[in-house]
Amino acid sequence: MLWPGCSRVSDGSEWSAPLSLRSSCSTSPGRAQSIAKERVRELVACKEVAVVTLTGHDQTDRWGRELGYITFNQTGLGTVLIAEGLAHARYDDLDGYDRHPRQDAYRYIDVVTPNLCE
């Protein structure tokens, strides 16, 4: 699914355009949410954004939010937020969801990056 930019960002890794979607593997704890929210807006402003869901993997989290990868300019939003310390790697087989292709990279970046949330 492609659309330009996004219409609403509710926290650092969840947003609405034509749908609400949570970025697989990233979550922005409490105090980093407002920073992450602004960073997401900055990253995707006026850009074409692709939302990719994986067939054969968990499609929603336990609250019913859709899971998937959000990319812009061939860059993964989750990778950027985790690398900048604005999110933690989540929604993978260490959290009770399906293992996914970016899990090892997300978890490695999360371990070696100081997190602004803590």
Domain ranges of the chain: 2-112
pTM: 0.75
pLDDT tops 80 at residue 78: yes
Tokens standing for residue 19: 């749908």
CA dist 7 and 62 (Å) reads 24
CA dist 9 and 40 (Å) reads 8
The whole-number average pLDDT for the span 82-104 is 89
Which CATH number among 3.40.920.10, 2.40.50.90, 3.40.50.300, 1.10.1040.10 corresponds to the domain 2-112?
Answer: 2.40.50.90
Identify the band that residue 25 occupies on the pLDDT scale cut at 50, 70 and 90: very low
Look at residue 111 and give its three-state secondary structure.
helix
Identify the band that residue 28 occupies on the pLDDT scale cut at 50, 70 and 90: low
The whole-number average pLDDT for the span 101-106 is 92
